[in-house]
Amino acid sequence: MISSTLQYLIESAVYLLSFLIIYRLFLSRLTHFTLMRIYLLACLGLGLILPMFTLPVSLFSSLPDSESLRYLFYASPINNSETAFAQNSVAGNLEKAGTNGAVLFGFALLITYICGVVYKFFLLVKKLLTIRTNFRNNHRIRKDGHWIISLETETPAFSFFSCIFINKQLVQLPDHEYEKIYLHERMHAKQLHTLDIILTELLIGFFWFNPLLTQYKKRLQEVHEYLADAKTIKYTGMKKSYSRLLLKLTTEEARYRLSSAFSAPQIGRRIKMIGKSRSLPWYRLSFFLLVPMAAFLLLSFSSVENRYDTYAESGTDKVPLASSKSQLKVGQIIWINNTLYTDSQLNDRLGIQSGDMYSKEYLEERLWLNMDAVSSLYMDDGYLFFNAEVEEKPRGNAYMDLNITLYEGIQSHIRHITIEGNGTIPKENILQEILIKEGELFSRSKLIESVRAIAAMGMFDQEKIHINPMPIPAKSGDEFGKVDIEFRLNVK
């Protein structure tokens, strides 16, 4: 659970950071303020939601179509897959040994997280109570559907939903300046800017450890000021006098972080934005940069998770990991249609016991992929067409029962062995290294050992030694099947 949570937090941070970089590089200097507000809010939503999803994509390799042969030569004949299995066993022992420590560490993280959330929400409630106290304890009047509250603080003016708080001393200003202040705050209230800030405060409360959310809040507050400034100038038509008013009322006071303040530290950027020419309409297309970036990150994280959620790479070997999304344990294992080997023999070869942590990927490895997998038990005795189907049956919230149905098929003999790409090297020399002969029963392990022997000759490119089994369809009543084996080689 800790692993999946950490993965979510990392992916979320990458999303939020990438979106914010696009905003700072391409969008923050535009004057399409409404789109800027929508962009920032959309980024917050996508950055927290998209990491929860994984597309069922794979950008790596595909398996052969034949169900019965798809795992036949999966294990690399050159690399020692038994080493991978041993590494997995060691990893499993370490995981069991570290369970208690992991639980304590997880509990400590949970307590730390809860304390952080409680503290953040305590500050949020404190701010709300401060605003409520100012509303109740100061003179207020109703105007244009808004409450106007007179304050005695150093803050010139701010708004909170439909409440507009204005310093009493501002009444002494000329009427046209006071009206601009009131109009500015009314624009904040009308456009529900407080709702954006409340939303970001809640997200900061739950994700208090992520500083990017604070940056999003600052950018949103900045855009709110741009919007209110633009609307005020639109109604008054006086840019210069309005800019002088901003400078006149500048203050560093920031007591009400939930409010839309009339003056703020970014006052210089606000004045610069007021004097800036309107951005051309086609610049609105820049906001669609969010779409390819979100798609790229989603595909990237999906392909990485599909590739590495099941396996951790160790050199050229693959080490199976228990799925982080499953906390189930193996329940009963029932073998169906097995006639050649007993349940006990199959269980010993499978190497999975009731009570082990369940991993579908590891089960598949022990059925098919490892050199000592269940499939090898059959394929080393000629049963080329062996197949197995697993039926998962969850039992409660703790166990996964497994019904494994076997299709043993018939034994197959080697009909012809052909060699392609050997160049000038005599075929007889290569055939001497091949352990399996024409007429013998098919054997997966002998074929793999044959490839190792050919590689040891030092005359062929080890990475380009391939085995191509070509089964001959059995006729009705045939006691044995047949298969041709083709070795494809590349001379160095």
* pLDDT per position as a tens digit, 448-457: 888 888 888 8
Domain CATH number, residue 419 = 3.10.20.310
Domain assignment of residue 333, yes or no:
yes
- Shared domain check, 335 and 214: no
pLDDT of residue 314: 38
pLDDT of residue 474: 74
Question: Does 115 score more than 60 pLDDT?
Answer: yes
User: Considering only 117-121, 203-207, 248-252, 369-373, which range has the smallest mean pLDDT?
Assistant: 248-252
- Shared domain check, 181 and 119: yes
| Domain end point (choices 352, 381, 407) | 407
Domains of the chain: total: 3
Provide the pLDDT confidence category of residue 266 given band limits of 50, 70 and 90: low
- Shared domain check, 200 and 122: yes
The pLDDT mean for the chain works out to: 80
pLDDT of residue 458: 84
CA separation for the pair 394, 367 (Å, rounded): 20
CA separation for the pair 398, 329 (Å, rounded): 6
Domain assignment of residue 440, yes or no:
yes
- Shared domain check, 245 and 219: yes
pLDDT of residue 304: 67
Provide the pLDDT confidence category of residue 154 given band limits of 50, 70 and 90: low
| Domain end point (choices 384, 407, 430) | 407
Domain assignment of residue 76, yes or no:
no
Domain assignment of residue 59, yes or no:
no
Provide the pLDDT confidence category of residue 88 given band limits of 50, 70 and 90: very low
What residues have CB less than 8 Å from 151, skipping those under 6 apart? 134, 138, 165, 166, 167, 168
- Shared domain check, 359 and 345: yes
CB-CB neighbours of 260 under 10 Å: 28
Question: Does 92 score more than 80 pLDDT?
Answer: no
Question: Does 126 score more than 50 pLDDT?
Answer: yes
Question: Does 337 score more than 80 pLDDT?
Answer: yes
Provide the pLDDT confidence category of residue 83 given band limits of 50, 70 and 90: very low
- Shared domain check, 201 and 130: yes
Question: Does 17 score more than 90 pLDDT?
Answer: yes
Which of 248, 298, 232 is closest to 54 using CA atoms? Answer: 298
Three-class secondary structure assignment of 303-338: HHHHHHCCEEEECCEEEECCCCCCCCEEEEEEEECC
| Domain end point (choices 407, 439, 466) | 407
- Shared domain check, 379 and 275: no
pLDDT of residue 2: 52
Question: Does 64 score more than 70 pLDDT?
Answer: no
The more confidently predicted of residues 29 and 6 is: 29
> Of the segments 230-239, 322-331, 414-423, which one has the largest average pLDDT value?
414-423
- Shared domain check, 398 and 419: no
Provide the pLDDT confidence category of residue 441 given band limits of 50, 70 and 90: very high
Instruction: Please give the residue range of the domain that contains residue 220.
Output: 111-136+169-279
User: Considering only 32-46, 74-88, 210-224, which range has the smallest mean pLDDT?
Assistant: 74-88
Q: Let me know the angle formed at the C-alpha of 459 by 458 and 462, rounded to the nearest 5 degrees.
A: 70
CA separation for the pair 326, 349 (Å, rounded): 24
pLDDT of residue 218: 92
> Of the segments 39-43, 189-193, 369-373, 444-448, which one has the largest average pLDDT value?
39-43
**What is the model's pTM?**
0.55
Question: Does 244 score more than 50 pLDDT?
Answer: yes
Which of 269, 232, 223 is closest to 250 using CA atoms? Answer: 269
pLDDT per residue as tens digits for the range 352-393: 999 899 998 889 889 988 888 899 899 999 998 889 999 999
- Shared domain check, 340 and 253: no
The owner of tokens 């099947």 is: 481
Question: Does 73 score more than 50 pLDDT?
Answer: no
Domain assignment of residue 361, yes or no:
yes
- Shared domain check, 258 and 222: yes
pLDDT, mean of residues 80-109: 52
> Taking the chain, what is the end-to-end CA distance rounded to the nearest angstrom?
49
Domain assignment of residue 12, yes or no:
no
- Shared domain check, 254 and 130: yes
- Shared domain check, 128 and 222: yes
pLDDT of residue 56: 62
**Is 174 exposed, middle or buried, given 0-12, 13-18 or 19+ CB atoms closer than 10 A?**
exposed
- Strands 163-167 and 146-151, by their bridges, are parallel
pLDDT, mean of residues 202-217: 94
User: Considering only 42-51, 157-166, 205-214, which range has the smallest mean pLDDT?
Assistant: 157-166
Domain assignment of residue 396, yes or no:
yes
The more confidently predicted of residues 295 and 423 is: 295
Domain assignment of residue 418, yes or no:
yes
pLDDT, mean of residues 229-250: 79
